[in-house]
Amino acid sequence: MKSSPLKHIRMDFQPLITEKFNLYLYDTGRRDVVLTGRGLRTKLRKGLCILEDLVFSARVGPINLSKGKVSTIECSLSLCGKKKIRQLNKQYRRLDKVTDVLSFPIHQNLRGQKFKNIQPPGPINLGDIIICKEKARTQAKEFGISVDAEIIHLWVHGLLHLMGYDHEVSRKEEELMNNWEDKILRNIL
């Protein structure tokens, strides 16, 4: 189990809760403009419902919790600036550069796990996702998409990392992760 970088940041959160997925939204900036946007929250809620369906009722999903006793999963999504993400990237990955998204999984790999013997007292926490707002804006402009769409893309990417996918391991793993990303994003956006 890895420690979360969020424990050092004091922030208020905005919960976005569906029947089986709790998402806690944070914005480390002074102005909480991005997370208060109705379009982004609507897309995130839609994404949570799609992910619920994939991980709880599908036979084949990014992870399969349908046979287990796990009833709820949760994670956090934090938006921050370039300075903060660079600091976190340097501290946790030893890379002194700004990146678009960082994921801090609590579990090493949830793929192929046998959850039927797990009876947690509460939700299974997947971990933390941190997205750089400025990087998301820049990339959205480059790709010709909305900032909301880019944040959703980075969130899904980070969420797959929390589940145990890693595109840096092999070409095959990259293709698998990209396929899940595309499938999920097609249904959200």
Using the predicted structure, report yes or no on whether residue 31 has a pLDDT greater than 90.
no
Tens of pLDDT along 124-171?
889 999 999 999 999 999 999 999 999 999 999 999 999 889 998 999
Nearest to 130 by CA among 25, 17, 20, 47: 25
Q: What is the pLDDT of residue 16?
A: 86
Average pLDDT over residues 31-53: 76
Q: What is the pLDDT of residue 130?
A: 95
Using the predicted structure, report yes or no on whether residue 104 has a pLDDT greater than 70.
yes
Using the predicted structure, report yes or no on whether residue 118 has a pLDDT greater than 90.
no
In terms of residues, how long is the chain? 189
User: No. of H helices and E strands in the chain?
Assistant: 6, 5
- The C-alpha atoms of residue 181 and residue 55 are separated, in whole angstroms, by 14
Q: Using alpha carbons only, what angle is made at residue 15 by residues 11 and 20, rounded to the nearest 5 degrees? A: 140
Q: What is the pLDDT of residue 34?
A: 55
Burial class (CB in 10 A: 0-12, 13-18, 19+), 166: middle
Q: What is the pLDDT of residue 100?
A: 96
Q: What is the pLDDT of residue 12?
A: 64
pLDDT category at 25 given cuts 50, 70, 90 is confident
pLDDT category at 14 given cuts 50, 70, 90 is confident
- The C-alpha atoms of residue 27 and residue 24 are separated, in whole angstroms, by 10
Q: 5-188: what fold?
A: Collagenase (Catalytic Domain) (3.40.390)
Strands (E), the chain: 13-17, 21-27, 73-80, 101-105, 124-132
User: What is the domain partition of the chain in residue ranges?
Assistant: 5-188
Q: What is the pLDDT of residue 114?
A: 56
Average pLDDT over residues 10-32: 76
Using the predicted structure, report yes or no on whether residue 35 has a pLDDT greater than 70.
no
Tokens 């403009």 correspond to what residue? Answer: 33
Tens of pLDDT along 75-89?
999 999 999 999 999
